[in-house]
């Protein structure tokens, strides 16, 4: 990763912050954007924009971290709830990808990483809005992986289960909730930002150079096996 230019959207907390730290430790040049600007440059992915300030001419990697967790019974969701989840998870990614495409094409081996959720594959109650939005993200990634393959741009998705981030703080707000979450995962624990960051670094690196259009299920076994 040394001297590679990586654009990181949402690098000020949680998974994005862990990815940023690992990239910098490996010598990458990280161009971080967040709504608060704490990670570097200011960007509100829900706003209208066609370009990003201070982008490098060549972009070797792009990681889009913004997400939402909006859980409630389906009958309580409004159209505006769905719209907000799509705006952050899907449409924000679309705008960033379009803004970065020129730079990605100039790299000899660019890699794009988007994030989904275990709930797309498993089907979980109260997840109708976020599962719909993240399902759209997975569809976008596979389509772009096919379209951009001739340009040697790889596009992959990481689909975690519950991970200990500020976004998930209400779901892990006490020991009972933490223990219940641990028991739902065959490996006996919920995720850590470092778990997701490690997978992201692999997908950004040349070690995954023959991998595109894939959804990496990093979920403690939740999407594929049952615990004892």
Catalytic center residues: 116, 134
Long-range contacts of 30-37 (CB under 8 A, 24+ apart): 30/6, 31/5, 31/6, 31/7, 31/55, 31/56, 32/8, 33/7, 33/8, 33/9, 34/9, 34/10, 36/12
Closest CA to 116 of 145, 154, 85, 83: 85
Chain centre distance of CA 152: 21
Within 8 A by CB and 6+ apart from 22, the residues are 197, 198, 201
Chain centre distance of CA 8: 10
**Helix, strand, or coil (residue 143):** helix
The pair phi, psi for residue 157, each rounded to 5°, is -125, 140
Closest CA to 189 of 199, 204, 203, 179: 179
Q: How many CB atoms lie within 10 A of CB 196?
A: 25
CA atoms within 13 A on the CB side of 79: 0
């Amino acid at each position: 990763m040394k001297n590679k230019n990586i654009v990181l959207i949402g690098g000020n907390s949680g998974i994005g912050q862990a990815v940023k730290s690992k990239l910098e430790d490996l010598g990458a040049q990280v161009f971080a954007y967040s709504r608060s600007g704490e990670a570097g440059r200011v960007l509100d992915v829900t706003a209208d924009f066609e370009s990003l300030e201070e982008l490098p001419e060549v972009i070797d990697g792009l990681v889009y971290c913004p997400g939402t967790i909006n859980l409630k019974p389906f009958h309580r969701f409004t159209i505006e709830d769905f719209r907000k989840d799509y705006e952050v998870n899907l449409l924000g990614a679309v705008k960033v990808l379009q803004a970065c495409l020129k730079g990605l094409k100039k790299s000899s081996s660019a890699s794009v990483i988007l994030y989904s959720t275990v709930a797309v594959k498993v089907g979980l109650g109260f997840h109708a809005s976020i599962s719909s939005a993240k399902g759209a993200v997975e569809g976008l990634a596979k389509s772009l992986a096919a379209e951009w393959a001739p340009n040697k741009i790889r596009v992959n998705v990481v689909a975690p289960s519950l991970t200990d981030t500020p976004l998930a703080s209400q779901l892990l707000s006490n020991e009972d909730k933490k223990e219940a979450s641990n028991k739902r995962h065959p490996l006996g624990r919920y995720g850590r930002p470092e778990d997701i960051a490690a997978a992201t670094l692999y997908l950004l690196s040349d070690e995954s150079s023959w991998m595109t259009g894939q959804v990496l299920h990093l979920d403690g076994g939740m999407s594929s096996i049952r615990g004892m």
